[in-house]
């Protein structure tokens, strides 16, 4: 770490150094029990664990073998346009990380995290719980807004209301150092870290945001935006103001404060929010956050507590990204909440309203991963019934910051809007037929492993004629091979999801003329959300409108559309149920508290069934800049969108 003198010379407030440093030998004990921590102190604790070769070999062996299940590996060798930026050789990256000299366990994990993060696939990431214990928070979240026909970056005008919701424990720190953050609200941002603010947005989108293949979509991740978190309206910090790692003490911002004409440069301090498990010192920090625990590797006991099943008893396939930001679910400040009365079915992850024009019904679908799988379906039915009764004739669906969820709920919403006459509401899908996957399915058939506990068993899937596969059917034998970027890719035979019967009566015909359905959002729409919006676009040419982004840059309407994701505990359970834990191809149990999740299935595009939806470029038809009136005010945005789209 630079010495105090160097920090002062750089003009940075010496946060951790304000207190004359006594010889504290335990860098974690220093802030035990505190919610908000100076980033330098947080980082000193995280970096206090020395590099350990045993842990590196354990982690890399696990990651290397789980990557064999990753459906998109070969696409990365030469990612097709417009996704070229993600091109990399995954095995060469792993070899580099195996050969790099690291000082600390943090440095190793950060490198592995960054490499998987830059695959820009939220389904496929190394998530070390030890090192995602903080969120670094800046009291000046940024947004891109149009004013008088010009788009610029601003400190969010609602920063005072928004930041105040973090509570006085957060804000009192800034009072204690006499830092006036309130005056920054609404300021125009002329430069960040000496760069043009959009160039800085690009840098963060390229190096930190991850999750989405399209750069344009990632640009929206760096800015603050509204969302539904849990079942409440919320405001996301954005990745400039709310990064995961506490590795920045301040952000230099050149600003034009509201009602002023002279630019000033301000070093805005970050303050890290501790979100990990309680601890008292370095040793207990490690035990409680970093060492493997009884849940890290899952295991056969997990079968007993398999969480969610459909009406046929199937485990529910999930397609969802990990947005580390919901950890800090600060509400949307109350002045910006919708004032219209919500219609029936708005208690969960869906919030629905009838706009003042009385013709437009709005469904804000915040997630496809509700606590109550059937409740999502009854909410949709209740909302549509209420809309019909009120004479609503056009439907606006808001998918802002929808990170996905249960695959079958995306297919459910598609079928509810399109009518059950369409048949199977999904898409063709495959998993990767690597040698261990082939062994797993054969073992499942031989051992009669039930589809109620595992995802590989054939009865989970339907042939393309929409009939369920018999338990004895081996969809990986023969496998199907193709060349992707020169590599031979082996995948399963194609199949469909089985999502029916649904929990509610499905309309046979579309409840609304499908030409009068439009989708809005900020393209931070992942996994099941992206598959749902793609189904609507590919089958019915549904209008897709995206707000925000960088002026002049193209943008896909969807974020990452992988398909089903398996957490490490999920794939480990599949291996254990098949009795293959001792197979030389099986990944070892992790010695650390972490998750290596991966995209386990591919969804193929309806328009071109050789192309995964994820790689089918589908730019937004309509692009709108946010304004001061819409960036944090969903109701204003919907009224504007309805005036433009219908
Ligand atoms: C490295 O980690 C392993 C596994 O947790 C542990 O047994 C070993 O003592 C550690 N090595 C050192 C030098 O700390
Ligand atoms: C890392 O490199 C060492 C030395 O070449 C090798 O023995 C080991 O198997 C490699 N580990 C992994 C996970 O590939
Ligand atoms: C800026 O000026 C306008 C018009 O005089 C005034 O209404 C507003 O309160 C001022 N805002 C700030 C933050 O000074
Ligand atoms: C793991 O251990 C914790 C604490 O001892 C306990 O509360 C939890 O139920 C255990 N989980 C499992 C899956 O056994
Ligand atoms: C809303 O739900 C209530 C209670 O379930 C029901 O009585 C009412 O008819 C519903 N209203 C509409 C418009 O569907
Ligand atoms: C396979 O398991 C199911 C229950 O999971 C059982 O009904 C069936 O009889 C078993 N079949 C064989 C061949 O063991
Ligand atoms: C559906 O397809 C499968 C596999 O091709 C075939 O075995 C089965 O007979 C077909 N079922 C119907 C009802 O066509
Ligand atoms: C489908 O995509 C493949 C791969 O990009 C391309 O070669 C082929 O021409 C496409 N087919 C159609 C019908 O667009």
Give the residue-averaged pLDDT of 369-377: 95
Distance CA 49, CA 47 (A): 6
**Confidence (pLDDT) at 302:** 59
Q: List all residues whose CB is within 6 A of at least one atom of ligand 6.
A: 448, 450
Which of 371, 321, 360 has its CA nearest to residue 518? 360
Q: Of the residues 375, 386, 391, 504, which should be mutated to test ligand 5's pocket, given the most ligand atoms within 8 Å of the CB?
A: 386
**Confidence (pLDDT) at 430:** 98
> Within a domain: residue 635?
yes
Q: For residue range 41-74, list pLDDT tens digits in order.
A: 999 999 999 999 999 999 999 999 999 999 999 9
Q: Cα of 59 to ligand 1 centre, how many Å? A: 13
Q: Of the residues 428, 462, 467, 470, which should be mutated to test ligand 7's pocket, given the most ligand atoms within 8 Å of the CB?
A: 467
Query: Angle 90-99/53-66 helices, nearest 10 degrees?
Result: 170
3 state SS of 441: helix
Give the residue-averaged pLDDT of 409-434: 97
Which of 424, 418, 638 has its CA nearest to residue 513? 418
Q: For residue range 284-324, list pLDDT tens digits in order.
A: 999 999 999 999 999 776 555 555 677 777 888 999 988 87
Q: Measured from the CB, is residue 378 less than 6 Å from ligand 5?
A: no
Question: Please, are residues 325 and 242 in contact by the beta-carbon 8 Å criterion?
Answer: yes
Three-state secondary structure string covering 146-212: EECCEEEEEECCCHHHHHHCCCHHHHHHHHHCCCCCHHHCCCEEEEECCECHHHHHHHHHHHHHCCC
Residues 233, 330 share a domain:
no
Structure tokens at 207: 């190096």
Residue 483: which H helix or E strand, with range?
Answer: strand 480-484
> Is-cis flag, bond preceding 168, omega within 30?
no
pLDDT band per the 50, 70, 90 thresholds, residue 17: very low
pLDDT at 195 over 50: yes
> Within a domain: residue 551?
yes
Give the residue-averaged pLDDT of 569-586: 97
Q: Measured from the CB, is residue 100 less than 6 Å from ligand 2?
A: no
Residues 368, 223 share a domain:
no
Which residues pair with residue 253 across a beta bridge? Answer: 192, 266
Distance CA 590, CA 56 (A): 10
pLDDT at 10 over 80: no
Q: Cα of 593 to ligand 1 centre, how many Å? A: 14
Residues 193, 140 share a domain:
yes
Q: Which residues, 6 or more positions from 235, have their beta carbon under 8 angstroms from its beta carbon?
A: 141, 158, 162, 224, 225, 226, 227, 330, 331, 332, 333, 632
Question: Please, are residues 134 and 42 in contact by the beta-carbon 8 Å criterion?
Answer: yes
Give the residue-averaged pLDDT of 233-250: 97
> Within a domain: residue 75?
no
| Out of 190-204, 308-322, 395-409, least confident range | 308-322
User: What size, in residues, is the chain?
Assistant: 646
Residues 266, 323 share a domain:
no
pLDDT at 121 over 50: yes
Distance CA 550, CA 217 (A): 9
Which of 546, 551, 594, 506 has its CA nearest to residue 225? 546
Q: Measured from the CB, is residue 147 less than 6 Å from ligand 5?
A: no
> Within a domain: residue 17?
no
Q: List all residues whose CB is within 6 A of at least one atom of ligand 3.
A: 258-259
Ligand 5 atom closest to the Cα of residue 344 is: 1
Q: For residue range 621-634, list pLDDT tens digits in order.
A: 899 999 999 999 99
> Is-cis flag, bond preceding 82, omega within 30?
yes
Which residues pair with residue 31 across a beta bridge? Answer: none
Look up the domain containing 168 and give its range.
135-274
Question: Please, are residues 609 and 499 in contact by the beta-carbon 8 Å criterion?
Answer: no
The CA dihedral of 96, 99, 103, 109, to the nearest 10 degrees, is: 50
> Within a domain: residue 195?
yes
What's phi and psi for 326, nearest 5 deg? -60, -15
Q: Calculate ∠ Cα 531-537-542, nearest 5°.
A: 130
Q: Cα of 53 to ligand 1 centre, how many Å? A: 8
Residues 254, 189 share a domain:
yes
pLDDT band per the 50, 70, 90 thresholds, residue 594: very high
| Out of 19-33, 81-95, 216-230, 328-342, least confident range | 19-33
> Within a domain: residue 239?
yes
Q: Cα of 383 to ligand 5 centre, how many Å? A: 9
Give the residue-averaged pLDDT of 404-409: 96
Question: Please, are residues 607 and 597 in contact by the beta-carbon 8 Å criterion?
Answer: no
Share of the chain above pLDDT 90, in %: 91
Residues 526, 396 share a domain:
yes
Q: Please, what's the b/e burial string for 338-359 (b: 16 or more CB within 10 A of its CB; e: otherwise)? A: beeebbbbbebbbbbbbbeeee
Give the residue-averaged pLDDT of 585-608: 97
pLDDT at 273 over 80: yes
pLDDT at 151 over 70: yes
Residues 334, 256 share a domain:
no
Q: List all residues whose CB is within 6 A of at least one atom of ligand 7.
A: 463, 465, 467
Residues 232, 152 share a domain:
yes
Q: Helix and strand tally (H, E) in the chain? A: 16, 27
Q: For residue range 315-345, list pLDDT tens digits in order.
A: 889 999 888 766 778 999 999 999 999 999 9
Distance CA 223, CA 202 (A): 11
pLDDT at 9 over 70: no
**Cα dihedral 482, 597, 291, 440 sign:** negative
Structure tokens at 304: 């007993």
From 274, 298, 330, give the residue that closes a domain.
274
Give the residue-averaged pLDDT of 125-136: 97
Q: For residue range 610-623, list pLDDT tens digits in order.
A: 999 999 999 998 99
> Within a domain: residue 50?
no
The residue nearest atom 2 of ligand 4, judged by CA position, is 294
**Confidence (pLDDT) at 551:** 94
Ligand 4 atom closest to the Cα of residue 305 is: 13
Alpha helices in 3-129 (DSSP H): 4-9, 39-46, 53-66, 90-99, 105-117
From 221, 247, 274, give the residue that closes a domain.
274
Structure tokens at 532: 């749902």
The residue nearest atom 10 of ligand 1, judged by CA position, is 52
**Confidence (pLDDT) at 322:** 86
Q: Measured from the CB, is residue 372 less than 6 Å from ligand 2?
A: no
Q: Cα of 532 to ligand 4 centre, how many Å? A: 36
- Mean pLDDT, all residues of the chain: 94
pLDDT band per the 50, 70, 90 thresholds, residue 182: very high
**Confidence (pLDDT) at 304:** 53
Residue 329 region, left (φ>0) first, then alpha (ψ -120 to 50), else beta?
beta
Q: For residue range 504-560, list pLDDT tens digits in order.
A: 999 999 999 999 999 999 999 999 999 999 999 999 999 999 999 999 999 999 999
Distances (CA, A) of 121 to 215, 347, 445, 540: 12, 31, 32, 27
Question: Please, are residues 159 and 139 in contact by the beta-carbon 8 Å criterion?
Answer: yes
DSSP structure class, residue 604 = B
Which of 402, 399, 398, 401 has its CA nearest to residue 640? 398
Distance CA 166, CA 186 (A): 19
Q: Cα of 168 to ligand 3 centre, how many Å? A: 26
Distance CA 564, CA 602 (A): 7
Residues 270, 323 share a domain:
no
pLDDT at 21 over 70: no
Residues 209, 324 share a domain:
no
Structure tokens at 539: 């089958």
**Confidence (pLDDT) at 308:** 66
From 254, 274, 294, give the residue that closes a domain.
274
Share of the chain above pLDDT 70, in %: 95
Q: List all residues whose CB is within 6 A of at least one atom of ligand 1.
A: 52, 54-55, 591
> Within a domain: residue 209?
yes
pLDDT band per the 50, 70, 90 thresholds, residue 7: very low
Q: Measured from the CB, is residue 287 less than 6 Å from ligand 4?
A: no
390: CATH: 3.90.226.10
Q: Of the residues 291, 295, 301, which should be mutated to test ligand 4's pocket, given the most ligand atoms within 8 Å of the CB?
A: 295
Residues 418, 340 share a domain:
yes
Residues 353, 238 share a domain:
no
Q: For residue range 259-270, list pLDDT tens digits in order.
A: 999 999 999 999
Q: Measured from the CB, is residue 385 less than 6 Å from ligand 5?
A: yes
Ligand 2 atom closest to the Cα of residue 63 is: 13
Domain count, the chain: 2
Which of 510, 518, 540, 512 has its CA nearest to residue 642? 518
**Cα dihedral 198, 202, 208, 213 sign:** positive
């Amino acid at each position: 770490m630079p010495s105090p003198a160097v920090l002062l010379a750089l003009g940075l407030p010496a946060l951790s150094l304000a207190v004359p440093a006594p010889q504290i030998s335990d860098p974690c004990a220093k802030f035990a029990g505190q919610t908000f921590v100076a980033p330098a102190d947080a980082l000193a604790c995280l970096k206090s664990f020395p590099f350990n070769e045993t842990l590196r070999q354990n982690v890399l062996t696990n990651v290397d073998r789980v990557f064999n299940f990753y459906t998109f590996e070969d696409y990365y060798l030469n990612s097709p346009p417009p996704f070229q930026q993600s091109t990399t050789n995954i095995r060469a990256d792993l070899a580099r990380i195996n050969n790099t000299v690291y000082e600390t366990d943090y440095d190793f994990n950060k490198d592995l995290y960054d490499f998987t993060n830059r695959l820009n696939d939220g389904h496929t990431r190394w998530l070390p719980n030890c090192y995602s214990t903080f969120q670094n928070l800046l009291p000046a979240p940024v947004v891109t807004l149009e004013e008088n026909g010009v788009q610029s970056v601003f400190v969010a005008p609602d920063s005072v209301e928004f930041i105040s919701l973090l509570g006085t424990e957060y804000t009192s720190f800034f009072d204690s150092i006499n830092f006036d953050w309130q005056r920054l609200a609404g300021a125009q941002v002329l430069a960040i870290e000496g760069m043009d603010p959009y160039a800085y947005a690009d840098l963060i989108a390229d190096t930190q945001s991850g999750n989405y293949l399209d750069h344009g979509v990632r640009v929206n991740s760096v800015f603050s935006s509204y969302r539904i978190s849990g079942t409440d309206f919320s405001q996301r910090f954005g990745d400039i103001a709310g990064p995961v790692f506490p590795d920045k003490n301040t952000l230099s911002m050149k600003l034009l404060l509201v009602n002023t004409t002279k630019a000033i440069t301000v070093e805005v301090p970050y303050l890290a929010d501790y979100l990990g498990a309680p601890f008292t010192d370095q040793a207990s920090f490690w035990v409680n956050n970093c060492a493997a625990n009884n849940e890290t590797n899952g295991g056969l006991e997990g079968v007993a507590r398999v969480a969610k099943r459909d009406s046929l008893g199937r485990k529910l396939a999930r397609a969802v990204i990990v947005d580390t930001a919901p950890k800090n679910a600060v509400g949307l400040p109350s002045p910006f909440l919708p004032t219209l009365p919500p219609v029936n079915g708005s208690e969960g992850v869906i919030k629905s309203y009838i706009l003042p024009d009385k013709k437009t019904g709005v469904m804000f679908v915040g997630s496809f991963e509700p606590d109550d799988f059937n409740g999502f379906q009854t909410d949709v039915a209740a909302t549509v019934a209420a809309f019909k009764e009120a004479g609503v004739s056009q439907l606006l669906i808001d998918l802002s910051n929808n990170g996905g969820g249960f695959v079958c709920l995306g297919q459910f919403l598609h079928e509810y809007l399109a009518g059950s006459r369409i048949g199977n509401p999904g898409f063709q899908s495959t998993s990767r037929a690597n040698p261990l996957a082939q062994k797993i399915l054969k073992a499942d058939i031989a051992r009669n492993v039930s589809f109620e506990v595992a995802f590989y068993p054939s009865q989970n899937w339907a042939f393309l004629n929409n009939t369920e596969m018999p338990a004895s059917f081996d969809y990986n034998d023969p496998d199907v091979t193709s060349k992707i970027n020169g590599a031979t890719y082996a995948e399963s035979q194609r199949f469909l999801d089985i999502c029916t019967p649904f929990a509610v009566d499905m309309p046979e015909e579309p409840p609304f003329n499908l030409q009068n359905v439009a989708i809005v959002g900020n393209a931070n729409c992942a996994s099941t959300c992206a598959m749902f919006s793609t189904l609507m676009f590919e089958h019915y040419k549904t209008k897709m409108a995206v707000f925000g982004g960088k002026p002049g840059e193209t943008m896909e309407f969807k974020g990452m559309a992988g398909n089903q994701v398996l957490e490490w505990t999920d794939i480990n359970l599949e291996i254990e149920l098949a009795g293959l834990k001792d197979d030389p191809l099986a990944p070892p149990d992790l010695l650390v508290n972490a998750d290596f999740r991966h995209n386990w299935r591919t969804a193929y595009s309806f328009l071109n069934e050789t192309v995964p939806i994820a790689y089918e470029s589908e730019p937004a038809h309509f692009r709108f800049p946010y304004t001061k009136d819409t960036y944090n005010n969903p109701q204003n945005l919907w009224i504007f969108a309805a005036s433009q789209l219908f």
